[in-house]
Amino acid sequence: MQPEEQLIQERIKKLDEIRKLGINPYPYKFEAKNFSNEILEKYKKLKNEGKTKDKVSLAGRIMTLRPMGKIAFGHLQDNKGKVQFFINEKELGKKGILLELMEQYSGLKPAKLQFSQINWNY
């Protein structure tokens, strides 16, 4: 099998795994209610490791992603700036963690977009 064909087959397999979780990898609509610069301004007085029960809704591209077992750190960039995020399996549940289904920087952009559509708690 050619490398390109192998890559296509891997992507198809990953899409099937995402669909088995009940997630549409190509969602038809997502409504972003916040921008990164608004979030940074609103929570700039929040102490390190501080939390709030507020929910935000961001749309953007995951620029960096550092999965570390059951947790992950990363940066989400939108057209207004960039925010850092931290997630863990305990708070999101296994359905929210799609990192295990794809290799980092695999090029499976629809799954990364779906992943970024989770409402983060800050």
Split into its structural domains, the chain has a count of 1
**pLDDT score of 94:** 61
CATH at 66: 2.40.50.140
User: pTM of the entire structure?
Assistant: 0.54
**pLDDT score of 25:** 84
**Which of 25, 21, 10 minimizes the C-alpha distance to 110?**
25
**pLDDT reading at 102 higher than 90:** no
Which domain range does residue 98 map to? 3-25+32-45+53-121
d(CA 36, CA 54): 14
d(CA 62, CA 13): 22
The amino acid sitting at 108 is L
DSSP strand pairing (55-56 vs 61-68): unpaired
d(CA 70, CA 59): 23
Q: What would the mean pLDDT of 67-80 be, rounded to a whole number? A: 88
The model's confidence at residue 95, banded by pLDDT at 50, 70 and 90, is low
**pLDDT reading at 107 higher than 60:** no
